[in-house]
Structure 1
Amino acid sequence: MPLYNIPPCDTRRPVNGDGFGVGFYTAPSLGPDPCIFTSTLPAWNCENLERLASKTTSSLIFAHVRATTEGALADNNCHPFQHNTLMWMHNGNLGGWKYIKRHLADSLADKWYLGVKGGTDSEWAFALFLDLMEREGGVDPSSVPEGGFGHALLREIMRKTICRINELIAAIPAGCGVTDVETRSLLNFAVTDGHTVVCTRYVSSKTDEAASLYFSSGTKWKEGRTKGHFKMERHDKGADIVLVASEPLTFERHNWVTVPTNSILTIHKQTVLIHPLIDEFYDDDPNHDRSSGFAVSKGLVSKAPGTTVAPDTNNDPNSNHPPASEPFTPADTPSLSPRAQQESYSHSTRGNVTNDSRTDNILMLTMDGMGSRKYRWAPT
């Protein structure tokens, strides 16, 4: 996928001007490690980024624009962070950070503790991920297994990382003035080994909404008539591009699907999986009302403006009439309850609705050879 400039189509939200970073995997002959480029300049004010983007191609790209909450304005605090083949990004904050930082650091093996170069809570969370990957996953993060570490392992270590962060926050002693400290976390993490991408949308609260997260899939990310403005195209071939973003990148809202609160999204080959992150903050009611105030107070959004979309529900491809549609909002995202019984569920972002069955607790998106996208519940 070409590393083009991301279109500045929708700018109705606060901008992130505290630096940026891009990471991408190159030709196999150059090795399995990604190339990382970071800068403390605002992304829109860096000519080098524009030059690099116009001449760079990659099958997997991470990009991050920073609005600092922890750590100084410095290159080593800009995401994505890297260890060998692994890249990591974070949007949000670790609750009670100044109280848990020392305990988190003390729990790490020396090599992961010494590997932290910057001062952000995000990089320390990555160090924790690497430590858990080795300690509890039984895998050396420095190794380069053919085909990557596997989506199941990366997803499980991501779960354990979030669980460990919550345990550290819960263990803050009462005498530390914890009542005056914000202990809620916004943990939108992303990790990749070059073969699989695992992302989370998570908040450690049962009443607050997580920072927003969306994905879009298609066959081509194409520049429109206006230079620098791109859109997702879909043809009668396999959909082989998946974009994940904190907010929709275009005004074409029907091309973007909301990732449910407190869930984990996995991209592997041509399949997108969404698992629930079930803990004390999870709610299996899709209509559960959560407040956006906490995310907004951190300079983030829990729902981008205009995200109500109208999916195409017209099943007659020969019809000349506009498709019937119903609004699709984050509240319409299906329940991810592991206790769900067999029932019919369908959702389509384009074309015919495909009915399938819900059997357990993951929402799976598959792209077949005809370009249709099937959403179905599948067992873990």
Structure 2
Amino acid sequence: MCRFLIFKGKQPIRLSHLLTRPAHSIINQSFDSRLRLDRRRPMNGDGFGVAYYPLDSELSEDGPCLFKAITPAWNNQNLSTLAEKTKSDLVFAHVRASTYGVLSETNCHPFTYHSLCFMHNGGISNFKGIKRRLLNHINDEYLNFIQGSTDSECAFALFLDTLDKLGYDPRKQDGDFGNVALRKAMLRTIDYIRDWTKEANRNEVHVEPSLLNFAVTDGSTVIVSRYITSKTDEAASLHFSCGSSFVETSPGEYRVERLDRNQDVIMVASEPLTFERGDWTAVPTNSILTIKKQTILLHPIIDEYYQEDPLYLRSSTLAESKGLMGSIPLAKAVEKNVPPLEREGRTRPPTAVAHIA
């Protein structure tokens, strides 16, 4: 299935340091995924996309720059040239292995709407069974926004409609909706999909769960979910890394430096970009990761699929069978050590795992 990558830094980075140069960059992952646990479908060759926010504030007034193509990412010379000549401090990148929707640029992620940018790794269970209900639920503005045929773009339209109905105008030029608003809209979007698919699957005998690794940004805050509609299965893999810089130590080899306590560089990825075990931390299944300025917050999603036992070991069989598990032997400490916290609505208050000094 798909892979995505998010970079947010205090200083801009050349896109090639994320997309093409590292030996295990997201582009190289699309054809050479040495960290993927399932090898039955090693290619992500059904198109790619990269969205990046310009450094010039005048150019970023109405959202990010967007480059998408249906050619395999590893064989696109325009992408290589663009990546070497472009810098940004906020980047969303995605390589696609299609599960729903034909091969077309309109079906490639990320999707953008004014200042907002969105991408998805996974799939909505029995999407055909809920598609009509989803489309009937959203306002015409967001219904007419949909250009492709993927469940992912429909999920983004639902997110926009939800944000609007919460009292925030998605057409806002300068973005900056705030982490509370974006997280609340993300949680409610997941709620709708969970409840609708549960109802649609009520009479089905064998139904796979929805895998909802969503990522959204307004150009300032980043919200990422790692979620599955199952109490026993692992969600698609997701990791984060933070430090003072992301540096090239030798041709193709990179590492995350931690020279001080500042988190100047934050990356979130379906599959780690480096082979250093200590560079990356697994995001707990069924949780929301928030990047607020350069602070990372983790909120567990507390619903019927939440596991109260912090030592419960979910099965990775489903995610592996779909090629959605990419990992090095990462420590599970973050999943075991999320402390008991007071409940805040549907989620517990955040655990701050990184912050600016």
Q: 1:274 aligns with which of 285, 290, 298?
A: 298
Amino acid at match of 2:157: A
State the shift of 1:267 in Å. Answer: 0.3
Partner of residue 213, structure 1: 238
Larger Rg: 1
Give the superposition deviation at 1:336: 5.4
1:193-246 superposed Cα distances (whole Å, 9 cap, x missing partner): 0000000000100010001110001122112212x3322122236321100001
Deviation per CA, 1:4-37: give whole Å up to 9, x if none: 2342337323231111100000111213210010
AA partner of residue 334 (structure 1): N
Corresponding residue of 2:80: 50
- Larger mean CA deviation between 9-18 and 252-261 belongs to 9-18
In structure 2, the CA distance between the partners of 1:244 and 1:173, relative to structure 1 (3 Å rule), is closer
Task: Give the letter aligned to residue 142 of structure 1.
Answer: R
1:95 to 125, 128, 134: 125
Q: Which amino acid aligns with 2:152?
A: S
Distance 1:368 1:83, change over 3 A: closer
Among residues 82, 89, 93, which one is paired with 1:63 in the alignment?
Answer: 93
Q: Which has the higher contact order (CA 8 A, sep 6+)?
A: 2
- One-letter amino acid of the counterpart of residue 200, structure 1: S
TM-aligned CA deviation for residue 335 of structure 1: 3.7
Q: 1:155 aligned to 2:183?
A: yes
**Distance of aligned partners of 1:172 and 1:294 in 2 relative to their CA distance in 1, 3 Å threshold:** same
1:30 paired residue number: 59
Q: In structure 2, what residue type is equivalent to 1:8? A: A
CA contact (8 A) 2:248 2:254 kept: yes
Identity level (%): 46
**Residue number in structure 2 paired with 1:260:** 284
Name the CA distance, whole Å, in 2 between partners of 1:336 and 1:69. 37
Q: What are the within-5 Å matches in structure 2 for residues 70-81 of structure 1?
A: 70-81=100-111
The separation in 2 between residues aligned to 1:363 and 1:298, in whole angstroms, is 30
Number of the residue aligned with 1:231: 255
Unaligned 5+ residue runs, structure 2?
Answer: 1-11, 37-41
The answer for the alignment partner of 1:116 in structure 2 is 146
Moved more, 250-259 or 284-293: 284-293
Q: Distance in 2 between matches of 1:253 and 1:361?
A: 28
Question: How far has the Cα of 1:287 moved from its partner?
Answer: 1.5
Residue in 1 aligned with 2:134? Answer: 104
Map Cα deviations across residues 289-326 of structure 1 (whole Å, 9 max, x no partner). 2111211222211x61x323xxxxxxxxxxxxxxxxxx
Partners of 2:312 and 2:230 lie apart in 1 by 13
2:195 to 167, 180, 185: 167
Conserved? CA contact 1:240–1:270, under 8 Å = yes
Question: d(CA) in 1 for partners of 2:132 and 2:309?
Answer: 36
Distance change >3 Å, CA 280–CA 337, structure 1 → 2: farther
Could you tell me how far apart the structure 1 residues matched to 2:137 and 2:228 are?
23
Partners of 2:127 and 2:233 lie apart in 1 by: 19
AA aligned to 1:295 is A
Change (3 A) 1:331 1:365: closer
C-alpha distance in 1, partners of 2:129/2:53?
Answer: 36
- In structure 2, the residue matched to 1:347 is none
Alignment of 1:1-380 (within 5 A): 1-2=12-13, 3-4=15-16, 5-6=19-20, 7-9=22-24, 11-12=33-34, 13=36, 14-26=42-54, 27-32=56-61, 33-135=63-165, 137-145=166-174, 148-172=176-200, 174=202, 178-180=204-206, 182-226=207-251, 228-236=252-260, 238-301=262-325, 304=327, 306-308=328-330, 328-329=331-332, 332-335=335-338, 337-338=340-341, 361-369=349-357
One-letter code of the match for 1:197?
V
Q: Distance in 2 between matches of 1:40 and 1:286?
A: 41
Residue identity opposite 1:178 in structure 2: E
Name the CA shift for 1:296/1:47 in 2 (closer, same or farther; >3 Å). Answer: same
Aligned amino acid, residue 141 of structure 1: P
Say if 1:40 and 1:73, in contact at 8 Å, map to a contact too. Answer: yes
- Judge conservation of contact 1:258–1:333 (CA < 8 Å) in 2: no
- Structure 1 CA distance, aligned partners of 2:309 and 2:162? 31
Paired residues, what number?
A: 323
Q: Name the SS of the counterpart of 2:68 in structure 1.
A: strand
Where does structure 1 lack aligned partners over 5 or more consecutive residues?
309-327, 341-359, 370-380
- Residue 179 to residue 151, structure 1, CA distance change in 2 (3 Å): same
For 1:184, what is the secondary structure of its paired residue?
Answer: coil
Normalised to the residue count of structure 1, the TM-score between the two structures is 0.81
Q: Secondary structure at 1:123's aligned position in 2?
A: helix
Counterparts in 2 of 1:335 and 1:285: CA distance versus 1, 3 Å: farther
